[in-house]
Structure formats: structure tokens, C-alpha cells
Amino acid sequence: MPLLLGAVLVVIVGLAAALAPALSGLLGLDPYDQVAPRHLTPPTPPDRDHPLGTDGMGRDQMSRLLLGARLSLTTALLAQALALVAGLLVGAVAGWNGGYTDAVLMRATDLMLALPAPLLALAVAAAVPEPENAPLLRLFPEPSLALVLLVLGGLGWAAIARLVRAEIMRLRTEEYARAATASGASGARVVLRHLLPNAAGPILVAASLGLGGNILMEAWLSFLGVGARPPLPSWGTMVAEGQVHVVTRPWVCLAPGLAILVAVLGFNLLGDGIRDRLDPSLRSAAA
Amino acid sequence: MSRLPPRAARAGFAVALPAAALLAAIGAGGCGRPAAPPAPEQVYRFRLREDPPTLDPALVTDNLSEAITAGVFRGLVAMDPESLEVVPAVASSWTVSPDGLLYTFRLRPVARFQNGRPVTADDVAWSFRRLLRKDTRSPRRWLLEPVAGAIDFAEGRAADVTGIAVTAPDTVTLRLERPFAPFLGMLTMSGASIVPREVYDDPAKPYLRAPVGCGPFAVVRWEQANVIEMKAFDGYWGGRPAVDRILVRIIENRTTALEEYRAGGLDSLDEVPADPGPDLAADVHRYPFIGVGYIGFNLGLAPFKGNAALRKAFNYAVDKEYLWNVLMPGGNIPGRGIIPPGIPGYDPDLPGYPRDPAKALSLLAEAGYPGGRGLPPITLWVNTSEDNRRIAQQIQADLKKVGVSIAIKEVDWAAYLQAVEGTAAVPGQAQMFRFGWYLDYPDADAVLRLQLHSRNIGPPGNYFRYASPEFDRLVDEALAMTDPQARAGNYRRAERIAVMDDAVWLFLNYFESATLFKPYVKGIVHTPLGEFRIPLERLVIERPVAGAKPAA
């Protein structure tokens, strides 16, 4: 049940993200254009042309929400991919080699996990006040989101590394692993061909749960003004910009707030569902 | 504590009523006409967002402190809250010698301090010396620095100020080093208040918590972070004010304050919500405030350095009318220049830069960036605030329409100031930045000279590094002029140079005050000096008294 619901929510958000430009084009909406009538103080309420009304700057809220899905999801996915690659590398090397290598890498991982991630993310993101003009970041299409991506990826790898190491240590004593080693396969080959595929389940669960976390964290950083820069319509920015109107025109921050809720809930349910499927002990307990 | 629970108030009334009725019956001798109940006490309750930093008039530099000291103290002269003209206060009259150097003030015989003692010319001289004295550490020492010998005295090189003289018990003269036209206006500021020596000479400094002045209201109680209570001063030379008691409530959180206002615990509120609901709309008072808002261009950095056409193009690209009348209504009037309305020299005919994308495009081409092509990265700096973010985004969107892309950078106030100010020699980091300037004294000098004179480049105020010899000359000349008309003419000409020729800023807005007042508060003066300088002595509270209605 959680798996199905999670999958449905994720598919909805995913479709919105994938089709954002097409959908906006179809509806004749532009996320940056100030479309509210020039004599009305925005945000204007929902009407036929603008199903979610306009935001505080008079821009169409629907198309911003759609583009926001694309930005949030892309950032979260790429950050998670970055974390996954780094986490797999560190975890596999530590788990396979053991000894000093393991000790050094795991202490580094412990250090990362010991620091409060949200505060660290905030500190790092705020330390680069001008991503548009920062040396490396300016090469990206959206430098401010590239910064968020790097920060989230740079923080997310530790949990995955810990998990991968445990799985590798558990699996490397399995007979098929010993057999592969005995028949002359290199360490890298054994890890990549035999061990990681068998550890895929828990890693997938962690990655899915991490995605929800990334979406939330991106929204939070943007809400505080250190994530997506105006006029980019990140969901977090949209909530922040809507908060002055929260009493009188609540739809302005309600829409992006609900979008965050749906996306995060979706990925969390999906992760939970996959774990339930993969873990027979949980399944029997549930039954 | 400022609000009696309605039930208790009513009970008190019920007890008092029979006694009053009895007295009335005896007094009236049975003629049958009920006596009017005694006039209810008039209490006015307003909010400050935090405790005033000081109540010593010599140390006041901020408007929170002024909100209190403007009621407690008076100087020789005062500023008329509406016309901003200098009017008599403790001095009933004054003369200025034809050379503009000698000021002679005649004191009012009826002026008294709140401790009951009459105000004398010696008090004036002593108060002025106190402001100058090094151990007073007044940030407003400069108010009296034009007086002959003032700087020598302040620096400890002279035992007395040669330019201050008491010529009769009710006459004091001030002699200036050189003619200085804004001087009389500066004497209206809090720093030039007259204080009683016996209180302000006390090394225990009791006056820090219990100030004594000769204004209409006396402070009777100050509970830190809670309330300041003031009472009408019966001996005020201008007549006892209508309001009997003032409760200044310290409420930091603006939402809490708004709820308190809604609940009836405040009679006015200095912050109007961005989106006041229909219940508050009728309580909103808006009126001009002597300040000017703008986007400053850094003339020390590319691309604005030496490129007036580019600066003009930016000015024409931004729709000020939409920004202040539609997007963010309230709080600001679309701006055209530097000198705000209400200040002598304000120029109602200054064309400014009404939005005109076509002109913006042709000026961009003239500036060497046709259609915005070839511009280096430009960042607009703002200090972090919800309003600033919206203003910056509107400017970003308007500039985008003529092909110019800018980034927005939000930083905290301290980092922002550092990036804006630079030093006298090195420009700050910020290429363009949103700034506002509130005039310390209501004179064009307070913005033109302090912000744009080439002598003040860097932290003193000219963050734009604007240097125009002709502008400097007009402003310097105006300082010594005594004819107000001619001075205003100089300021108008100087403003035209900085606005129409050099486009030194992106001219955005003139400030406006916005205050909530309950409908029963009467006598509100919409003063350009700001909501904290609304004269308390002119207010009248016609609050419907709890329990008064059922008498019929």
C-alpha cells in the first residue's frame, strides 16, 4: 500500500517536472512574466487563465509551481546521484579493504555524520553569497541551484557509505564472493559484479528516502534565501515569498507548501514500500 | 497593565456612580438636572518595538528615543510639525544679525522645568556647554560646532565657549564662526534641548531613567521592556495638553503588537501590515516622510563608472509608478529625484525618469551596450528583507525587458554596509545597491551635501563616489546663504545636475509614514518628521468609556 501510494505521488511529481515546459506552453503560461493586470496589486486570486492565481510579483503561480517541480526534483536527484557515487566508492573501498583504509574512511564518515547536516548545509551555502559569479558554479545553467546540489551531495554521501560498507563486509564472506576471488577476479570486479548487485535493495531504499530529504532541504535553504535565487521559482522560495500574505491570501504559499508535502511524502512512502518488499522479516511481521 | 479588564472598570464605575449622584443631588439643590460626570481621564497608548536606547537628549540619535524625548524636552526653538518651519519654543522670539553671525534669543518668562523651576538663560548656556563637553560623549556635538569657540571648548583647549553669552537673565546670544544657514533648524533637534543643571549635573545620573525637561509630558515610570508612563505637565508653557497620561508599551514582535492593537490594548501602531485586512483599512494613516529611496550606482566600478547614458537607461527602464502604486502600495511615493516633498528646495517640476523602455533602449545603445549586449555581470545588493526582495525582483524584471540581466544579492545589514560604503580611497564592492536616506534635519543640505558632495566620498555618506565641481559649488554656496528663496534655488539647480545630467542614482521613491490609529484618536498631525514625531500634546482621545453607556 505505501509502495503504491508513494509510486503514484512520485509519478505525479515526476510527470509535472518532466512536462513542466510543455504543460506551461499548453496553458499559455510563463513562469517569469508579470501577467497580473497592471492595476491590481498582486497576488491576484485564481481565475480561468491562472488556475492558482498569481504570486506576490504578479507572475503565474501554476507555471511557477510546475517549473519548481522540475528544479526541485532535478536538484534533489542530481544531489542524490552525487551522494550515491561518492557513498558507493567510499563504502565499497572501506568495506572490501578493511584495516587502516577502513578505519580512516569510516572516521571521516563518522565526522560527517556527527555534524548537524542542516546547519552545515546552511553554513556552506551562505558562505558562497554570490553563486552567479563564483568561479566553478557560474559554468552551470543555474549557479545557485548547482551550489545547493553540491552541498546536498557533499553531505549525503556519508550515510550511504556507512550502509554500503556494512553490506560489503557482510557479503564478502559469502561463498560466491570467495569463489569469485578464488577464480582470480580482481577486488573491483568482485565488488562491482557480485557484491553491489546483491546490496542494491537497501541502497535503493536509502537513496529513495534521501531524495525526499533533499527536496525538503532544498526548499528549506531556498526559503532562507541561500538556495535558489530570485527569480527562480523554487518551492522554498515560493513559500518564503508567500508568507507575508499567509493570512489574507493563503493560496500563495499553500500551493508550493502542498507540493513539497506531496513530493517528500511520495519519496518517503516509496522508500518504505521498497524496504517492506525487500525485507522478508518485516513482511512476515506485518502479515 | 495598560488595559483594565472591562469588568473591573465597570464595577469601579458602579461604586462611584451613587456617590456622584448623591453629590450632584445635594449640589443641584433638587433642580432636577443631572450633573455631568467628571471628564474621563484621557489615556493614549502607543507602541515602541524596543526600549529607547537613551532618554538623555544629548545622546539621542534614533527615532525610538525621539518618540519619548520629543514629549519631555524643548529647545530654544522648535520645528513646526506641518510646515517644518522653525517656530518659537523656550525662546519666544529671536533675531539674527544681518551678517548671519549673531543669534539673539529672548526666553519666555513662563517656561518652567518639570521640577517646577523657571528656565533661565543660564540653563540654556549650561545645556549647550553640556552638549559640547567631551565627557558628555554626544554624537550630536556637531549641532553646536558652528558656534565660535565651540570646537576649542569641546576639545578641552578652552575653558568656555566664546560664542555663547548670557546678556540678561532672559537673553542668550550665540555667535557663529561663519554664516551657516541650517543652524536654526539644527537647534530644533533633541540634542539642543534645555535641561535643568541641578538634575543633569548629578554624577549619579538620575536623569537617565527619570528625565526632566520643559516639554508637555513628564516621564513618571520606565519599566524596561515593558512600559514607559508619561503624565501631562501642568506647568507646560504651551498650555496643559488634553491627554492626561501616555503609556508607551514596548512590544517587540510586530504580530503581537498588531494583535494587541486589534484587541484594543493600543491606540496606535507604527507598523502597518503589508496586507491590512478590511477591518484595519480605515485606521491606516499615510503621509509623506522626509526621506528618499533609491538604487545607488557605484561610480567607482564598471560598468557605471563614467557612463551616465547607462545609468539613465536603467532609470528609464524601471516602472516606479507600478512598483509603489500597485505592487507594493503604501509606504512610498514614486520618486523623481533627491529632495523629498516638504523640504525647501523640493522641485515639483523635476521631470525625473518616468518609465520609457524605448528611451532606455536607445540610451543603452548610446552607452555602448545595445540591447544589453556586452554588459559585464551586474549584481544588485540589498540587505535582507521581504520588501527589498520584492523591490529587487521588480527591478530585475523591468531591466530584463530591455535586455539587461542582473543578479540579486541579499546580505545582512553589517555586510551590506561594508560592501556599500567602501573607504575614502577604495570603492565598495557593490555595483548597485538599494538604499534609503532619512534627513536628520529638514533641510536639503542634509541629503545633498552629506550624500553627494565630493568631500564625503566613502563612509561619511557619498557611497556613490559622485564628484561634480559644479554640484559641490552650489551646495557649498547654499550653506552660507541667508535668503531662503535663494538657497532653495541653489538646491534645485544642484539637484537637477545630479538627477538629470548625471543620473547618479536610480531614483525610486520618497518615503511615506504609515501608522494605524483608532478612530477615536483625534488631533493627529501628519508630520513629515515621521510617526514618532506626531506632537503628543495635540492629541485628543475621544474613547467611548466602558460603562458610560448604560447610564441612560
For chain B, give the percent of residues with pLDDT over 70.
91
pLDDT at B40: 85
What are the tens digits of pLDDT across the range B382-406?
Answer: 987 778 888 999 999 999 999 999 9
For chain B, residues classed under CATH 3.90.76.10 are 73-201
B320, B375, B390: which to substitute to probe chain A, counting the most A Cβ within 10 Å?
B390
CATH number assigned to the domain covering B73-201: 3.90.76.10
Chain A partners within 8 Å of B394 (Cβ):
57
pLDDT at A68: 94
Mean per-residue pLDDT over chain B, rounded: 89
Chain B partners within 8 Å of A145 (Cβ):
none
Chain A partners within 8 Å of B321 (Cβ):
none
Predicted confidence (pLDDT) at residue B17 exceeds the cutoff of 60: no
Instruction: Kindly report whether the global pTM for this prediction surpasses the value 0.80.
Output: no
pLDDT at B279: 86
Read off the pLDDT of each residue in B15-44 and give the average, rounded to a whole number: 52
A122, A130, A137: which to substitute to probe chain B, counting the most B Cβ within 10 Å?
A130
pLDDT at B132: 96
CB contact under 8 A, B275 and A58: no
Read off the pLDDT of each residue in B280-302 and give the average, rounded to a whole number: 93
pLDDT at B129: 97
pLDDT at A128: 83
Find the range with the poorest average confidence among A86-95, B26-35, B284-293.
B26-35
DSSP sequence for B159-186: SS-TTEEEEETTEEEEEBSS--TTHHHH
Residue B546 pLDDT level (bands cut at 50, 70, 90): low
Over the range B243-256, which residues count as b (16 or more CB within 10 Å of their CB) and which as e? bbbbbbbbbeeeee
B280, B393, B406, B433: which to substitute to probe chain A, counting the most A Cβ within 10 Å?
B393
CB contact under 8 A, A57 and B322: no
CATH number assigned to the domain covering B287-511: 3.10.105.10
DSSP B193: B
Distance from CA of B266 to the nearest CA of A (A): 21
What are the tens digits of pLDDT across the range A160-172?
Answer: 999 999 999 999 9
Predicted confidence (pLDDT) at residue B169 exceeds the cutoff of 80: yes
Residue of A nearest to B326 (CA): A41
Q: Can you tell me the distance from the alpha carbon of B387 to that of B410, in angstroms, rounded to the nearest whole number?
A: 12
Name residue B219's amino acid.
V
CB contact under 8 A, B397 and A225: no
pLDDT at B30: 38
Residue B418 CA to chain centroid, in angstroms? 24
Residue of B nearest to A144 (CA): B407
A247 and B CB contact within 8 Å:
yes
pLDDT at A62: 93
Predicted confidence (pLDDT) at residue B3 exceeds the cutoff of 80: no
CB contact under 8 A, B326 and A40: yes
Q: Can you tell me the distance from the alpha carbon of B376 to that of B484, in angstroms, rounded to the nearest whole number?
A: 45
Chain B partners within 8 Å of A247 (Cβ):
275, 277
pLDDT at B276: 77
Helix (H/G/I), strand (E/B), else coil: B459: coil
A74 and B CB contact within 8 Å:
no
pLDDT at B158: 94
Predicted confidence (pLDDT) at residue B11 exceeds the cutoff of 80: no
Predicted confidence (pLDDT) at residue B26 exceeds the cutoff of 70: no
pLDDT at B8: 31
What are the tens digits of pLDDT across the range A234-278?
Answer: 999 999 888 878 878 888 999 999 999 999 999 999 999 998 888
Distance from CA of B452 to the nearest CA of A (A): 29
Q: Can you tell me the distance from the alpha carbon of A23 to that of A26, in angstroms, rounded to the nearest whole number?
A: 5
CB contact under 8 A, B389 and A249: no
Question: Phi then psi for B47, rounded to 5 degrees?
Answer: -115, 140
pLDDT at A282: 60
pLDDT at B36: 62
A244, A246, A252: which to substitute to probe chain B, counting the most B Cβ within 10 Å?
A244
A128 and B CB contact within 8 Å:
no
Residue of A nearest to B319 (CA): A38
Bridge-based pairing state of the strands B77-79 and B505-517: unpaired
pLDDT at A87: 96
Distance from CA of A243 to the nearest CA of B (A): 9
pLDDT at A93: 95
Predicted confidence (pLDDT) at residue B15 exceeds the cutoff of 60: no
A242 and B CB contact within 8 Å:
no
Q: Can you tell me the distance from the alpha carbon of A24 to that of A37, in angstroms, rounded to the nearest whole number?
A: 19
Chain A partners within 8 Å of B262 (Cβ):
none
Predicted confidence (pLDDT) at residue B176 exceeds the cutoff of 90: yes
**For chain A, which ranges sit under pLDDT 50?**
285-287
Q: Can you tell me the distance from the alpha carbon of B74 to that of B195, in angstroms, rounded to the nearest whole number?
A: 9
8 A C-beta contact, residue B294 and residue B507: yes
CB contact under 8 A, A231 and B327: no
pLDDT at B383: 86
pLDDT at A2: 85
Look up residue A100 and give its three cell numbers.
587502516
For chain B, residues classed under CATH 3.10.105.10 are 287-511
